[in-house]
Structure 1
Amino acid sequence: MSERAAAGGRGAGTRQRILDAAERLMAERGIEGVSLNEINSAAGQRSTASLHYHFGGRDGLVRAIMQRHGPWLRDRHEELYAELARGGREAEVRALTEVIVLPLAEYLALGPSPRAAIRIWASALNRPQLAVEEVQHLVDPALTEASRRLIALMEAVMPRELAVERLFLASQSALHLLADRAALEDAPDSRRRPLPLPLMTANLVDMTVAALTAPVGEETARIAAAVFDPAASA
């Protein structure tokens, strides 16, 4: 093996160790709850030079974690959306909701690293400085299309702005609930006995569908009219 190849192999190994350490610690404490020095030490590095060389800093680590796990979820989103399209179910709220929720729940069952990723994604969505590039690693064409169709169905009975907000809040809530389940799966001393994951997932889909399709109350409609169409409500 040449010196260049050996150096490349060592560099790849160092990058992997840093990424593994960041993934584990950020899942446990949140993206902002762990220092780069702690990540560096957990990866067995003497200085942060390698971390900055490979990732540039905290945001680069978060993007690398998303890139590491994104392909599996993208493929599963595409698979589920293709299935519902073949079955002519593009106008079914539950089928579209399953495209959003099921891949995350299924990924959670694949082991500690996928569970860590889900916890980090939930933490990432709470970051006020969340960059567009980071969001793009969470969204793929099939997920975008399922969301677009859901909003189109919802805006038949509510303002589009309200439909968009409902979908965002419902999706974020589902992600946080799955992140909580991921943490519970990895807790060594938990006394809580959770539902079997398939039952928890089906129930979560039910809850999300209910949130998206709940009737708009009179007070909500009045306030929405004042916010989105003040001239008409005057």
Structure 2
Amino acid sequence: MTTRAAGQARTLLTQRTLLTVAERLFAERGIDNVSLRQIADAAGMVSNNVVRYHFSTRENLIAELLQWRVRSLEPVRTAMLKDADARGVSHDIRTLMMILCAPLLAIRDEDGGLGFALFLSRYMFSLRGQGIPHPYDLDAGSVPALTETLARIDRRLYFLPAGTIEVRKRTGLGMFLNNISFLASSAGPNRPVLISDPMVADLMEMITAAMLAPPAAICEDQPKAFSQDQKPV
């Protein structure tokens, strides 16, 4: 390995260490309650300015954390989409929500915790609305499996207005993240939350029902207008 390559490898290792520590602290304390100095201290760095050196700002660090983690989920989602196609369930909303949500359980802390899922929950419902973009916002082409999953959800919910579909996608993901956070805190460190857990399976059924519910006006005027078994045009 050349001197330059070795230096690049050390830089990448330092950055990944800082991102991992930041993710854990954000999940434990809340994103707004963690400073760059605290991240450096928790990572065991000699210089308190090391985070600023590598990422310049807290916002850039958060953006890099999202880029790293979300792109790491692409192979899993790609495989799940191919499996859905092979099984003929490519427009089944429960399957699509599983593709959206289940891979988040694969990212674990050193102690088996769900730091990224907890961080993502805090990010989605605070910082994204404040202008810190998700990788999908910046370049949907950089996360093709995620983009395809969201597009299929859009097509499956064809009977809803576009704005309602967006709300339901956020609601479905929020239901998953919030309930997973609760399950993780109540299960204890020696019992990690798994997608095969009965409570997670029940959660996915609730999310499916919420996604497929007709809009309020249809509930009042045409209670049988749509069926959960309907296929998109």
Q: CA deviation at 1:142?
A: 2.3
Tell me the residue number matched to 2:62. 62
- Residue 104 of structure 1 contacts residue 178 of structure 1 at CA under 8 Å; is this kept in 2? no
- Residue 18 of structure 1 contacts residue 39 of structure 1 at CA under 8 Å; is this kept in 2? yes
Distance 1:58 1:160 in 2: 33
Following superposition of structure 1 onto structure 2, how do residues 187-198 of structure 1 map, counting pairs within 5 Å? 198=196
Tell me the residue number matched to 1:232. none
Tell me the residue number matched to 1:20. 20
TM-score, reference length from structure 1: 0.74
Tell me the residue number matched to 1:204. 203
Tell me the residue number matched to 1:178. 180
Following superposition of structure 1 onto structure 2, how do residues 19-168 of structure 1 map, counting pairs within 5 Å? 19-105=19-105, 107=106, 112=111, 115-126=114-125, 127=127, 128-136=129-137, 140-156=143-159, 158-168=160-170
**RMSD over equivalenced CA pairs, Å:** 3.4
Q: CA deviation at 1:183?
A: 4.2
Query: Which string of whole-angstrom CA distances, capped at 9 and with x for unpartnered residues, describes residues 141-197 of structure 1?
Result: 2232222222222232x3232222222222222122223334445669xxxx99875
Structure showing greater radius of gyration is 1
Distance 1:2 1:216 in 2: 61
- Residue 27 of structure 2 contacts residue 115 of structure 2 at CA under 8 Å; is this kept in 1? yes
Q: CA deviation at 1:58?
A: 1.0
**SS of residue in 1 equivalent to 2:214:** coil
* Change beyond 3 A, Cα 1:33–1:138: farther
* Change beyond 3 A, Cα 1:180–1:111: farther
- Residue 124 of structure 1 contacts residue 130 of structure 1 at CA under 8 Å; is this kept in 2? no
Say which is worse superposed, 213-222 or 199-208, in terms of deviation.
213-222
Following superposition of structure 1 onto structure 2, how do residues 208-227 of structure 1 map, counting pairs within 5 Å? 208-218=207-217
- Residue 122 of structure 1 contacts residue 176 of structure 1 at CA under 8 Å; is this kept in 2? yes
* Change beyond 3 A, Cα 1:13–1:146: closer
User: Please, which runs of 5 or more residues in structure 2 have no aligned partner?
Assistant: 222-233
Distance 2:28 2:219 in 1: 38
- Residue 170 of structure 1 contacts residue 208 of structure 1 at CA under 8 Å; is this kept in 2? yes
Tell me the residue number matched to 1:225. none
Query: Which string of whole-angstrom CA distances, capped at 9 and with x for unpartnered residues, describes residues 100-135 of structure 1?
Result: 122223x15685477111111111112132433545
Q: CA deviation at 1:4?
A: 6.0
Identity percentage of aligned residues:
26
Distance 2:96 2:166 in 1: 15
- Residue 111 of structure 2 contacts residue 189 of structure 2 at CA under 8 Å; is this kept in 1? no
Say which is worse superposed, 115-124 or 211-220, in terms of deviation.
211-220
Distance 1:134 1:57 in 2: 17
- Residue 91 of structure 2 contacts residue 156 of structure 2 at CA under 8 Å; is this kept in 1? yes
Q: CA deviation at 1:81?
A: 0.8
One-letter amino acid matched to 2:148: E
* Change beyond 3 A, Cα 1:2–1:177: same
Q: CA deviation at 1:11?
A: 4.0
- Residue 69 of structure 1 contacts residue 114 of structure 1 at CA under 8 Å; is this kept in 2? no
Distance 1:113 1:195 in 2: 9
